[in-house]
Amino acid sequence: MKGLQALFKIRETYIGIAITVAFQLIFFSVWMTAYDGVNDRAENLKIGLISEDTEMGQQVANEIQATLPFTIEKFTSLNEAEQELNERDIQMILHIPNDFTSQLQAGKEAEIIYSINQANASIAKNMMEGVAKQLTEEINHTIYPKQQGKTVEVFSQKFSQLPMEQNTAQQINETVATTIMSVKDRAIDSTIIKTNNVEEFAANFVPLMVIISSFVGAMVMIMQHQQAAQLVQDTISKWQLFLARQIINIGVAFTLPLLTIGLMHLFNISSEQSFFSIYLFQGLMFWAFLCLAQAFVIMFGNLGMIFNICALSIQLVTSGVLVPQTMLSDFYNKLASLLPATYGADGYYTIIFGGSSDNLISNSSSLGIIIAVTLAISTIVVALKREKVKSKSKQIVPASVQ
């Protein structure tokens, strides 16, 4: 009991219990509100539609646009659509080739080509693949009666050309049998192309894993450095202490990527990006996490840990690695643009799955802006705080008179 009484006399005991409760409250509140109504916002997902066939293919395209519960964006150029897909502005391309009608009229299977970018949240990839399979079945049910009508039309033309002889009935039967047999109950086939695909299953979790490990590591490091700063703040000036913390942050931020890249090679996670690109991006991302966590702690002291827990939960929700940002509410969508995890996750999709290097540069620039803003906030707060260096007065000892 003495041990229990001793612990409860220390403030840190209550802080530890409060943080445990805060984790539960914050995670439940953020995740349940952020993911509420996600399925209702599936219409925010975009599908690129391009039909090179001007006859039946165009009819199918019009029906797709009218029935699919997604945002349909029409393209006239396949290259343009593929570029949008590669940049993750759309989730899937639905491509109807120019020989769609001719294949159907010849009694062959026509084809619809679906391209799905694998550098996306798992829920978006799975949803698009399910849509592709279901849509193909529905188009088959729609096309089959139309193809039967075309068959009847062809049969009528052939019948009108038949000579009226005694064996007419036999010839009619043969013609009908041949024509109807040429009609298939499955006239449309689908081809699903998975762009930026990575065979290693574990690679799908790298963006999420990097976000969690980096920000949690940043939180713990900043908290420990805050406690260390409180121990020495009476012996050095606030600006010396602040500068020292920034040097440590930069040193750790640009040393950690060597470990990250080494672990990726160890677990056979390959990338088309250069070593320098990955190194610089990981360094900027971790530095941004450190600056964000540091800003809360410098502003609020130990209570800043509560704000960092909020930041962790919100970033996991809004980063786009679990659920696409377009399926979140407007509030969380706008909040995502202010947080480093959004750009970190998007950049790591490019690093792991491939894509445009311009995307990596854009994300790095956004991380740079977050670093500058959070550092500016921390600097202002430090400037407004009182100096805590104790003045050390020198005692003058008079010389003894002999």
What is the rounded distance in angstroms from the CA atom of residue 398 to the CA atom of residue 402? 12
Best-predicted range by mean pLDDT among 43-57, 74-88, 283-297, 327-341? 283-297
For 106-205, where are the alpha helices, taking DSSP H only?
122-160, 168-181
C-alpha dist (Å) from residue 156 to 78, 102, 149, 175: 39, 20, 11, 10
- Residue 395: what pLDDT? 43
- Residue 276: what pLDDT? 93
**Cβ count within 10 A of residue 355:** 23
Question: Which has the minimum average pLDDT: 5-19, 199-213, 239-253?
Answer: 5-19
Q: Categorize the per-residue pLDDT at 394 as very low, low, confident or very high, splitting at 50, 70 and 90.
A: very low
* Helix (DSSP H) and strand (DSSP E) numbers for the chain: 15, 5
How many CA atoms does the CB half-sphere of 232 hold within 13 Å? 14
Q: Categorize the per-residue pLDDT at 43 as very low, low, confident or very high, splitting at 50, 70 and 90.
A: confident
- Residue 186: what pLDDT? 64
pLDDT digits (tens, 9 = 90+) for 63-112: 888 888 889 999 989 999 999 998 888 999 999 999 988 887 777 788 89
Average the pLDDT over 357-371 and give the result.
93
In this prediction, what percent of the chain has a pLDDT beyond 90? 37
Q: Among 3.40.50.800, 3.40.1710.10, 3.40.50.20, 3.10.105.10, what is the CATH number of 41-195? A: 3.40.1710.10
**Of the candidates 283, 225, 224, the residue with the CA atom closest to the CA atom of residue 257:** 283
Q: Does the structure show a pLDDT above 90 at 401?
A: no
**Cβ count within 10 A of residue 32:** 9
pTM passes above 0.85: no
Residue that the structure tokens 């009847």 belong to: 152
Question: Which has the minimum average pLDDT: 115-129, 197-211, 352-366?
Answer: 197-211
Write out the residue limits of the CATH 3.40.1710.10 domain(s) in the chain.
Answer: 41-195
Handedness of CA 76, 98, 71, 317 (dihedral sign): negative
